[in-house]
């Protein structure tokens, strides 16, 4: 269970650029569910994920994973509970380290370690088996530096690295957005298999409504830091979801116009 209570976040507080993103935002997510987050650009989706992962600090509010309050934990410690995959295929991996080193690093998440002691041979068999499951032949390229892999191969690796220690919560921030449609579909199917097998509670930001309807158990739409829709995929058609989504995007644009006039 992920429980967010009264979370507030304002950027540049007390300055002319003050930008309130969340004001007493609350949300509960049941264990072992996959929730898709939709919403217009700038509505606060990534900020919410960054507040959960600890890469951003909230102004107030609490975040609990199971019975553990992680609100005050530093990001490195939260990494024991939370895995994250970002949109940019280079972000979740160390490009100048090879595949084996990257996977080995994922096992040491949340621990201090010396680069020399990175590889623990006890993990090698498991690493090879995990790489085999994605069917891209990465298990035969253990010594290849990750910078030589394609975006899709890196995202697969990033996904495996984020889940190797079976996190309580997996955050996927548009993790297929930078990929071509075929690779995006491969990664999405792999993600779905993995989170079901390992029973990982997953929060997935996507602009792909089909992915949301097909893979999520619950769909949440955010707008201006608030939940404006919270439904199960069976309760809505793609056309209806698309209509609501476009209404919110238009609504956001309409809100932005007076601001721009004011600045000019």
Ligand X SMILES: Nc1ncnc2c1ncn2[C@@H]1O[C@H](COP(=O)(O)OP(=O)(O)OP(=O)(O)O)[C@@H](O)[C@H]1O
Q: Does 39 bind ligand X (CB under 6 A)?
A: yes
Q: Does 98 bind Mg ion (CB under 5 A)?
A: no
CB closer to ligand X out of 46 and 202: 46
Q: Does 54 bind ligand X (CB under 6 A)?
A: no
Considering only 45-53, 104-112, 116-124, 175-183, which stretch makes contact with Mg ion by CB under 5 A?
45-53
Considering only 7-15, 44-52, 61-69, 136-144, which stretch makes contact with Mg ion by CB under 5 A?
44-52
What angle do the packed helices 151-163 and 99-107 form, to 10 degrees?
20
Which of 46, 50, 86, 206 contacts Mg ion by CB under 5 A? Answer: 46
Q: How far is the CB of 123 from ligand X (least distance, A)?
A: 34
Question: d(Cα 207, Cα 17) in Å, to the nearest integer?
Answer: 27
Residue ranges of alpha helices (H) inside 99-168 are 99-107, 121-133, 151-163
CB closer to Mg ion out of 84 and 130: 84
Which of 44, 61, 83, 92 contacts ligand X by CB under 6 A? Answer: 44
Q: How far is the CB of 111 from ligand X (least distance, A)?
A: 27
Q: How far is the CB of 49 from ligand X (least distance, A)?
A: 8
Question: d(Cα 39, Cα 45) in Å, to the nearest integer?
Answer: 7
Question: d(Cα 136, Cα 133) in Å, to the nearest integer?
Answer: 8
Residue with tokens 């989706």: 45
Whether the CB-CB separation of 201 and 31 falls below 8 Å is answered with yes
Considering only 2-10, 46-54, 95-103, 253-261, which stretch makes contact with Mg ion by CB under 5 A?
46-54
Q: Does 26 bind ligand X (CB under 6 A)?
A: no
Which residues, listed in sequence order, are joined to residue 204 by a DSSP beta bridge?
A: 36, 172
Which of 34, 47, 63, 167 contacts ligand X by CB under 6 A? Answer: 47
Considering only 34-42, 57-65, 124-132, 146-154, which stretch makes contact with ligand X by CB under 6 A?
34-42
CA-CA-CA-CA torsion for 191, 195, 197, 199, nearest 10 degrees? 180
Whether the CB-CB separation of 4 and 28 falls below 8 Å is answered with yes
Considering only 38-46, 68-76, 111-119, 150-158, which stretch makes contact with ligand X by CB under 6 A?
38-46
Which of 11, 113, 148, 246 contacts ligand X by CB under 6 A? Answer: 11
Question: d(Cα 78, Cα 56) in Å, to the nearest integer?
Answer: 12
166 binds, among ligand X, Mg ion, none (CB under 5 to 8 A by kind): none
Residue with tokens 């829709």: 229
Question: d(Cα 235, Cα 109) in Å, to the nearest integer?
Answer: 39
Cα separation values, 43 from 93, 220, 228, 252, 257, Å: 27, 12, 11, 8, 16
Residues found near Mg ion in the complex (CB under 5 A) = 46
Contacting residues toward ligand X, per CB under 6 A: 11, 19, 21, 39, 41-47
């Amino acid at each position: 269970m992920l429980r967010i209570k009264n979370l507030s976040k304002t950027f540049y507080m007390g300055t002319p650029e003050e930008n309130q993103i969340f004001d007493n935002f609350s949300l509960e997510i049941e264990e072992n569910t996959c929730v898709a987050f939709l919403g217009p650009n700038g509505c606060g989706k990534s900020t919410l994920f960054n507040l959960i992962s600890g890469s951003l600090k909230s102004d107030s509010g609490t975040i609990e994973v199971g019975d553990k309050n992680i609100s005050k934990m530093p990001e490195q410690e939260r990494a024991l509970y939370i895995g994250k995959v970002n949109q940019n295929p280079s972000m979740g991996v160390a490009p100048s380290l090879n595949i084996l080193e990257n996977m080995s690093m994922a096992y040491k998440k949340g621990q201090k370690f010396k680069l020399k002691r990175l590889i623990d041979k006890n993990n090698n068999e498991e690493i090879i088996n995990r790489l085999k499951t994605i069917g891209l032949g990465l298990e035969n390229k253990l010594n290849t530096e990750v910078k030589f892999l394609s975006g899709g191969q890196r995202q697969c690796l990033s996904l495996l690295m984020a889940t190797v220690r079976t996190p309580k919560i997996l955050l996927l921030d548009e993790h297929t957005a930078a990929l071509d449609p075929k690779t995006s579909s491969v990664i999405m199917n792999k993600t779905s298999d993995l989170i079901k097998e390992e029973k990982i509670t997953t929060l997935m930001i996507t602009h792909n409504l089909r992915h949301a309807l097909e893979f999520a158990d619950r769909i949440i739409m955010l707008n201006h830091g608030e939940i404006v829709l919270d439904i199960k995929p069976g309760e809505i058609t793609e056309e209806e979801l698309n209509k609501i989504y476009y209404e919110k995007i238009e609504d956001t644009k309409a809100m932005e116009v007076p601001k721009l006039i004011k600045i000019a």
